Amino acid sequence: MAFSFFFRDQQVLERVVDHILPAIAGRNRPRVWDAGAAMGQEPYTLAVLFAERMGHFAYDNLRIDATDVESTGSFARIAENGAYPREELARLPEGILEKYFESNGKPGYFRVIERIRRRVVFQRHDLLSFQEIGQGYALVVCKNVLLHFQPQERVQVLRMFHRALGRGGLLATEQTQEMPPELDPLFRRVARGGPLFEKVEGPRCAL
């Protein structure tokens, strides 16, 4: 189900962005993969959080690949156009609407500004294909998706994220996600209790 909203799990996303920033500083074209991005609320939130924290030049180098299994019809149109009804934007933190949204000429709708939209690339992708969309990602965000999968599917999807991440890359999941014990050699929990895992490299993590 494509339920999502802007700034969902704000504190978690802020922590993730703050944690990854030193690692991507100075990196040429750092990439983030938001898997299960619904109608774009989460990847655009990430883009805003990065924009708030990065200089113009570094930010314009960033690319967020936003994928979802649903990407036909209105779903894709909404995400790519970045236009949302006013009610959807009611929970935005103070100042964000004025700074990162603009009128798109349609009464009752606001559109994410171009500077934010340009950083997010949408494509259809089924996580249950177990095929990563690329490699070398600094960060994979997959929130409120894994809980819909069977345990063995979850393990395979997490292995795929491990392949997609670059050295020291971070995986952010929903709060309740535990790492299956068989994947302990592949990921190290970054902080106790938080849904943040760092990719572990080395001979023990042969896939």
Ligand X SMILES: C[S@@+](CC[C@H](N)C(=O)[O-])C[C@H]1O[C@@H](n2cnc3c(N)ncnc32)[C@H](O)[C@@H]1O
Q: Which of 14, 70, 102, 201 binds ligand X (CB under 6 A)?
A: 70
Nearest alpha carbon to residue 173 among 205, 139, 201, 200: 139
Residue 2 sits in the site that holds ligand X (CB under 6 A): yes
Q: Which is nearer to ligand X, 25 or 90 (CB)?
A: 90
State which H helix or E strand residue 163 sits in: helix 151-164
Of positions 127, 140, 160, 165, contacts ligand X by CB under 6 A = 127
Q: What three-state secondary structure class fits 4?
A: coil
Stretch that binds ligand X, among 49-57, 68-76, 97-105, 130-138 (CB under 6 A): 68-76
Site string for ligand X, 131-150 (x = CB under 6 A): ------------xxx--x--
The nearest distance, CB 143 to ligand X, in angstroms, is 4
Please report the DSSP string for 10-64 in residue order.
Answer: HHHHHHHHHHHHHHHTT-SS-EEEEES-TTTHHHHHHHHHHHHHS-HHHHTT-EE
Smallest distance from ligand X to CB 6, Å: 9
Total residues binding ligand X (CB under 6 A): 18
| Shorter beta-carbon distance to ligand X: residue 69 or 205 | 69
What DSSP string describes 83-141? EEEGGGGTTPPTTHHHHHEEE-SSTTEEEE-HHHHTTEEEEE--GGG---S-S-EEEEE
Figure out which of the listed residues 21, 23, 58, 69 binds ligand X, where binding follows CB under 6 A.
Answer: 69
Q: Which of residues 13-52 bind ligand X (CB under 6 A)?
A: 36, 38, 42
Nearest distance from C-beta of residue 61 to ligand X, angstroms: 24
Contact assessment for residue 93 and residue 7, using Cβ atoms and an 8 Å cutoff: yes
Residue ranges in contact with ligand X by CB under 6 A: 1-4, 8, 36, 38, 42, 68-70, 126-128, 143-145, 148
